[in-house]
Structure 1
């Protein structure tokens, strides 16, 4: 029973779980003294005969704050598979009445969550997928890309709005609202405005918006240099027909001697310096 429990829980076990399968406190202490088990927090241990994986690290961090704690933010998003990379710092949410303190490698948030917003997955309490996505997207290391990815594969925008409104006032709530609004309309028009603002602030001249090229209108054109800049919205709005149409359009424009640059809302909002550098390189301008 012990080996099954350790295997199913990434090598992590609590004192309460050990007692439930018949182990004595003395047996637990003996394993700790002999360094077969490593103490990870109050009443939480790791069997040190296996790799200490990201899953083990997150599980141990959450369990060390007690039975009512749950993973949240980027840690929860990773646990759900909504992002590829486990965060270095594990965000843990506990009820307001809890007494625990933040420990190295963790970030503690105190709030009372609705039962609708907490699930158990692989034996660990985590915020439900929709809340995890909304919160992780406004954490450093998350961003619009995480939300866009989740909307393409895992959740619907309506579900994200519901959970956001149900949890107003939490850390990062205003930023989440802005992201949801951008996602809702695809952010294409907003992306075009941001591009024009970037070009003006960087001092670029000689460009026109909605310029006709080969029967199409490109979003921004540097006419003399024959550089066309196209703006995309959020990927989750795209379907295969739109994707194919965009590529055909790009090929036709390129065959008429134009160099085509494509930027997304994500590029323009999170990597504006890179966008400007690429435009400068394509047009032969100095920034």
Structure 2
């Protein structure tokens, strides 16, 4: 609870101080308090930062992703963005970034001022160890690709921005040709043979298949989700192959680029079980 809220509820400054002295309330930040009989959750921790920040800036990065519903947990350190000329300094558990944002990159959710969805997705992808997987999930569930690319261009020159370019290039590769090349290289490095790329199986075409073992592999490129009907078509295809005795494996961009050892192990296991 902020001091202003407490005063609005009829408490005096003295009443607030008495609650702090008796440890019924804990002062988290200047003019921000937490009632000791309430759990200290990700939500309450985020709200404490919001109350401390007030109109001086916006919630950003993974903390904004949490409020937008893009992430299940708030980060241990909450990020906020303030105007370039602001002198606001961080506090324990708060990191302050100085940057002037375009109006299109600002938003409000549940009464909280924060970065817009597109900028939040981009900044969170940079901040997380599994940023590529996060970006892929966000594209599938929360944000179309064109406005995400527009937000990227609006913020060119921002810290770490160059690391986003390869991810967005991959996301725009609708043919998934690069993903297929990377996957086939994994097979070659593992000395796996007997595979055929783009094998026709009945009325369907598998991205990669091992005909002898009847193992088919489907690769979900970054842009598959932006095409209406593609999701349903892929599932229909997978079911049809399974009903004709094929084992179907699916790998994402994140699997192929970040977990090649896992991909190799799964393919080897499927081939061994089918032998």
Aligned residue for 2:22? Answer: 34
Aligned residues: 272
Separation in structure 1 between the aligned mates of residue 54 and residue 240 of structure 2, nearest angstrom: 61
Q: Which runs of 5+ in 1 are unaligned?
A: 1-11
Could you give the per-residue CA deviations for residues 163-201 of structure 1, whole angstroms, max 9, x where no partner exists?
221111223312333322322334622221221122223
* Counterpart check, 1:173 vs 2:161: yes
After superposition, the Cα gap between the structure-2 partners of 1:253 and 1:107, relative to the gap in structure 1 and judged at 3 Å, is same
1:128-147 equivalence runs, <5 A = 128-140=116-128, 143-147=131-135
Separation in structure 1 between the aligned mates of residue 110 and residue 101 of structure 2, nearest angstrom: 20
Q: Is the 8 A contact 1:209 1:218 kept in 2?
A: yes
Separation in structure 1 between the aligned mates of residue 149 and residue 242 of structure 2, nearest angstrom: 40
Aligned residue for 2:193? Answer: 205
TM-score normalised by L of structure 2? 0.84
Q: CA RMSD in A?
A: 2.8
Single out whichever of 275-284 and 90-99 deviates more from structure 2: 90-99
Q: Is the 8 A contact 1:214 1:256 kept in 2?
A: no
Separation in structure 2 between the aligned mates of residue 142 and residue 85 of structure 1, nearest angstrom: 14
1:142-221 equivalence runs, <5 A = 143-186=131-174, 188-221=176-209
Q: Secondary structure at the match of 2:268?
A: helix
Q: Is the 8 A contact 1:135 1:176 kept in 2?
A: no
TM-score normalised by L of structure 1? 0.81
Q: Secondary structure at the match of 1:196?
A: helix
Separation in structure 2 between the aligned mates of residue 40 and residue 186 of structure 1, nearest angstrom: 48
Q: Is the 8 A contact 1:149 1:236 kept in 2?
A: no
Q: Secondary structure at the match of 1:155?
A: coil
Q: Is the 8 A contact 2:42 2:73 kept in 1?
A: no
